[in-house]
Structure 1
Amino acid sequence: MILRRPSAGEISSDNGRKTPLAGESLESVPWYKRIPLRLHLALLTALMVAIAVGMVVLVTYLAVSSALTANLDQQLERQASVLLERADESLTPSELEDEIATFKSYNPLTRVSISPPGWAFSSGDPIPIGGDFIDAGDRSAQTIRTVGQERVIAVRDDLGFTVVVGQDMFELRQLTSSLGSMLMAFMALGIAVSAVAGVVVATAGLNPLWRLQRAVDYVTRTDDLRPIPVIGNDELAQLTNSFNAMLATLGESRQRQAQLVGDAGHELKTPLTSMRTNIELLMMVYRPGAPNTISEQDRKELEHDVLAQMEELSRLIGDLVDLAREDVPETVSEEVSLDAIVGSALVRVRRRRPSVEFDVQTIPWLIKGDEFALGRAAVNLLDNAAKWSPEGGCVRIRMLQLSDSWVELSIADSGPGIPVEDREQVFERFHRAAEARSMPGSGLGLAIVKQVVLRHSGSIKVGESADGGAEMIVQLPGYPDEP
């Protein structure tokens, strides 16, 4: 199995085949995107080696060819210089012929021509001089050129003696051709070896990815969220660590979901059972022909109890929905006024708790976040404080700027307060103290508040108010609302 990330125009189907996106056929995907990753790596390795070996072969060929040509030039230049020195001592044509014959007896592959100053002809082989002479020092000048398959060097001294030597380059070119063929064979062998090595390296390098893929397939197939063993400390090990962290987060989310469902089922069971009993009793009373066994007062109390239980059930379901919403990460982020949110929440709570006084001192403060979630948290805090305050009690709301980027919102009530040992547990889901069992509520309000505050990078803690009640202290980031 080849592990490859689907391209931008593909998705992976359940059977592992690469399926194009809507409106795009498999044939429209470029061929190079359909090549397996292992072959991609092997081809890339072979290409890189081919480029490197090709550059080495080219440089080697040019360097060796230039060195052989330079060596031939030096040899011909030495021969021409020796003949030029000998020609200065031999001025007669017969002596020049003898000198040339002696030279060619030792150098049978070299042609030579000598032209003394003032002569209208030259002795030796018919070699055209040609080319522009360049000063070579030692009172001489020379020219070097290639005529057909022959390398020709002409040397002239300051007296006018000219010596021209030439040698066929067939053997030299044959040698360089053999060298080029050998280097090309070496390059082909290197590419083949690099391709095989690329496949081996790609296979070995992708083994951890295949192991990770098998682990992912196992999680998908069995729903087992156990962490994957981490081997080494390289990038693939870091990828495995990241995947394990994702599995851990998924496991925690699943555990919270299961806990929420279990707690919700437990909490919903009590009001549903009580409401069902009361409804069945009312149905028996209103059944035609049934004896009237309860008084009018008892009937009204039953109806009141049913309505109260329905309201409690509705509130519990709303809290569960809010809590589930807070479990899902939200991206809503806008600039909102915290003091305006507190004021809006205060209007709603005052309507429900008219017997409690509210002492409010706020400051203009802006925060980036979810206005709906912050409003729900403020309502829960104020409603909780008003619920625990006695009739005629006072709920004190204060906003205090701690720094240029932090504000503190404190809400103190006049109730019995929260014991120190219970202050951390009040933010747990469905937690209700023993003295709160007789009061309406689901035990989810403060849990929702904590989740909202944490999602806005803030903090919340429980303290004691000046008159012995409870004080909720919330710290949130933001900045002052400048007029």
Structure 2
Amino acid sequence: MILRKYSDIPDEELSPSDPRVHEAGTPIRWRLSLLTTLIVAVAVGAITLVTYWTVSGILTASVDAELDQNATGVISRSENLGSIAGIREDIEQFKLYHPDIRVAVQPGEDSLSYGDAIQFVAPDIPPGADLGTTVQTIGNERVLAKRYSDGTTIVLAQDMARTHDLISALGSVMLGICLLGILLSIVAGAFVSTTGLRPLVRFQRAVDRITHTDELKPIQVHGSDELAQLSISFNEMVETLQESRRRQSSLIADAGHELKTPLTSIRTNVELLLMVLNSGQTIPDDERRDIKHDVIAQLDEMATLINDLVDLARDDGEANPSTVEIDLDQVIDAALTRVERRHPDLTFDVDSEPWPMIGESAALERAVLNLLGNAGKWSPPGGTVRVRLHDGRLEVSDSGPGIAVDEREKVFERFYRSDESRSMPGSGLGLSIVQQTVLRHGGSVWVEESDDGGAKLVATFPGLTR
């Protein structure tokens, strides 16, 4: 088997639908790193914005609350003084303690306001309420206006420069935190992608090693996650390939060994004929007849062996066999028609019932034919081969010498032949083909002893579920 790297395969051998054909793109490691970076960056950015807006709102609300509290204090002191001079004096005293706040008071009975000139929107008093309040930002000031039911209005305006500076400093800090978070997310993304893809890198190296060296070596499994399961599946695939390669090598070696015998015999006979012809001598008719029969027999043995090898190779390599609904009883009848011509001196006692199933008609007929042929080969002249099919259980019994208990498993091995069978015709592959076909159809096959001491081969097949 010759394995080629992808780069060694000419472009004209690859169709557009070939899974090896793909557009060059960003490596998955960088895509995973970028995705991790984006997720972390978005999360950090969102948290930063929410924090900025929340703190800004809290600071502004704090200013509003302080203005409302100061406005309540000013109006209460102005009511106690009860004179314009007192109001002005109270305003001046208030500004001594609050230099960053401007204040204006408009008594209810007066249309004039006292204090600072402040632009504001007069609040409306809701029905049933004692006062109305408005808060707004005008220029760089936060302006609060409170109007009481008697018409008295007080306005406070606080410079927001310090608050804005504080919010700007907070924004700078949050921006720095955001940038630092993005930087850390890049590092984290690279770490996660490198760590997460490390098993895939090992997997790729293992595949490349097999591609370059043709060495079927499993990879180590770490952990129990999905990647570990992928490694386990890969190792199982490697084991399957190793077993397939071992069986292939064994089949080739065994086939070569089995082919030597008929080839050696044919070569010996041909050399004998050539030697006689070259010496000018003649071969008696009876010896020529024996040589002819011997060569024909060896050719028949080679043809049988080659046909069996072709059947085994076809069964091994057929990934998606064509299966149809068949009746096993009819398959047996077809095989009997063929085997009776080969063994006219035997009697075939058949008792079968219909058994519908899903399978390969040709493969099943070949397997049944091998079972019947094996029984016919070992039956004595004038003997009887008994065939029974009931409930998906096929039994083929002969009256031969039987099979020893310690050899009943071995007879299904390829090219296995017992000492008694070495002088018998056959390739040693018939029962191996039977077992392979039965197993592929979901059944099982084994050897028992028949009622008269011969061999009984039993095969079971699953029926068709309606």
Q: Which residue of 2 aligns with 1:6?
A: none
Task: Give how far 1:61 is off.
Answer: 0.7
Q: Which residue of 2 aligns with 1:274?
A: 265
Contact 2:104 2:117 survives alignment (8 Å): yes
Contact 1:87 1:161 survives alignment (8 Å): no
Contact 1:134 1:143 survives alignment (8 Å): no
SS of the equivalent of 2:258 reads helix
Equivalent in 328, 339, 342 of residue 349 of structure 1: 339
Equivalent in 291, 294, 298 of residue 287 of structure 2: 298
Distance in 2, matches of 1:325 and 1:336, equals: 21
Equivalent in 310, 314, 317 of residue 321 of structure 1: 310
Distance in 1, matches of 2:169 and 2:122, equals: 31
Please list, as runs of the form range in 1=range in 2, the aligned pairs for 1:218-297 lying within 5 A after superposition: 218-284=209-275, 287=277, 290-292=280-282, 294-297=283-286
The count of corresponding residues between Structure 1 and Structure 2 is 458
Q: Which residue of 1 aligns with 2:6?
A: 13
Letter in 2 for 1:351: R
Contact 2:123 2:147 survives alignment (8 Å): no
Distance in 2, matches of 1:291 and 1:243, equals: 67
Contact 1:13 1:19 survives alignment (8 Å): no
Q: Which residue of 1 aligns with 2:384?
A: 394
Distance in 2, matches of 1:307 and 1:15, equals: 48
Distance in 1, matches of 2:87 and 2:5, equals: 90
Please list, as runs of the form range in 1=range in 2, the aligned pairs for 1:442-461 lying within 5 A after superposition: 442-461=427-446
1:308 pairs with 2:297:
yes
Letter in 2 for 1:325: R
Contact 2:394 2:458 survives alignment (8 Å): yes
Q: Which residue of 2 aligns with 1:188?
A: 179
- Give 5+ residue unaligned stretches, structure 1: 1-10, 402-406
Q: Which residue of 2 aligns with 1:89?
A: 80
Task: Give how far 1:273 is off.
Answer: 0.8
Letter in 2 for 1:408: R
Contact 1:153 1:164 survives alignment (8 Å): yes
Task: Give how far 1:289 is off.
Answer: 8.0
Q: Which residue of 1 aligns with 2:372?
A: 382
Contact 1:131 1:145 survives alignment (8 Å): no
Equivalent in 22, 25, 34 of residue 25 of structure 2: 34
Equivalent in 158, 170, 185 of residue 167 of structure 1: 158
1:127 pairs with 2:118:
yes
Distance in 2, matches of 1:35 and 1:128, equals: 61
Q: Which residue of 1 aligns with 2:415?
A: 430
Greater Cα offset, 201-210 or 356-365: 201-210
Greater Cα offset, 312-321 or 299-308: 299-308
CA gap 1:468/1:133 in 2 versus in 1, 3 angstroms: farther
Contact 1:110 1:167 survives alignment (8 Å): yes
SS of the equivalent of 1:228 reads coil
Deviations 1:397-423 (A, max 9, x none): 22222xxxxx21111122222121211
Contact 1:91 1:116 survives alignment (8 Å): no
Greater Cα offset, 122-131 or 465-474: 122-131
CA gap 1:380/1:105 in 2 versus in 1, 3 angstroms: same
Q: Which residue of 1 aligns with 2:99?
A: 108
Distance in 1, matches of 2:14 and 2:385, equals: 59
Equivalent in 58, 62, 80 of residue 53 of structure 2: 62
Task: Give how far 1:312 is off.
Answer: 1.0
Distance in 2, matches of 1:136 and 1:291, equals: 145
CA gap 1:129/1:118 in 2 versus in 1, 3 angstroms: farther
Distance in 2, matches of 1:146 and 1:159, equals: 26
Distance in 2, matches of 1:20 and 1:117, equals: 98
Task: Give how far 1:333 is off.
Answer: 4.4
Distance in 2, matches of 1:154 and 1:148, equals: 16
Greater Cα offset, 70-79 or 328-337: 328-337
Distance in 1, matches of 2:48 and 2:122, equals: 33
Equivalent in 330, 342, 357 of residue 367 of structure 1: 357
Task: Give how far 1:127 is off.
Answer: 2.6
Letter in 2 for 1:437: R
Deviations 1:39-87 (A, max 9, x none): 2222122111101101110110111011001101100110111112123
Letter in 1 for 2:175: M
Letter in 2 for 1:155: K
Letter in 2 for 1:187: C
Equivalent in 135, 158, 170 of residue 179 of structure 1: 170
Letter in 2 for 1:340: Q
SS of the equivalent of 1:14 reads helix
Letter in 1 for 2:419: A
Letter in 1 for 2:368: A
CA gap 1:372/1:181 in 2 versus in 1, 3 angstroms: farther
Contact 2:75 2:154 survives alignment (8 Å): yes
Q: CA RMSD in A?
A: 2.9
CA gap 1:437/1:200 in 2 versus in 1, 3 angstroms: same
TM-score (norm 2): 0.89
CA gap 1:465/1:15 in 2 versus in 1, 3 angstroms: closer
Task: Give how far 1:135 is off.
Answer: 5.8
Distance in 1, matches of 2:97 and 2:5, equals: 80
1:340 pairs with 2:330:
yes
SS of the equivalent of 2:387 reads strand
Task: Give how far 1:428 is off.
Answer: 0.9
Task: Give how far 1:198 is off.
Answer: 2.2
SS of the equivalent of 1:114 reads strand
Distance in 2, matches of 1:134 and 1:180, equals: 38
SS of the equivalent of 1:479 reads coil
Deviations 1:1-37 (A, max 9, x none): xxxxxxxxxx983389x9996569xxx977xx62223
Distance in 1, matches of 2:275 and 2:458, equals: 51
SS of the equivalent of 2:420 reads helix
- Give 5+ residue unaligned stretches, structure 2: none
Letter in 2 for 1:309: Q
Contact 1:459 1:475 survives alignment (8 Å): yes
Task: Give how far 1:199 is off.
Answer: 1.9
Distance in 1, matches of 2:67 and 2:5, equals: 72
Contact 2:125 2:147 survives alignment (8 Å): no
Task: Give how far 1:430 is off.
Answer: 0.8
Task: Give how far 1:222 is off.
Answer: 3.4
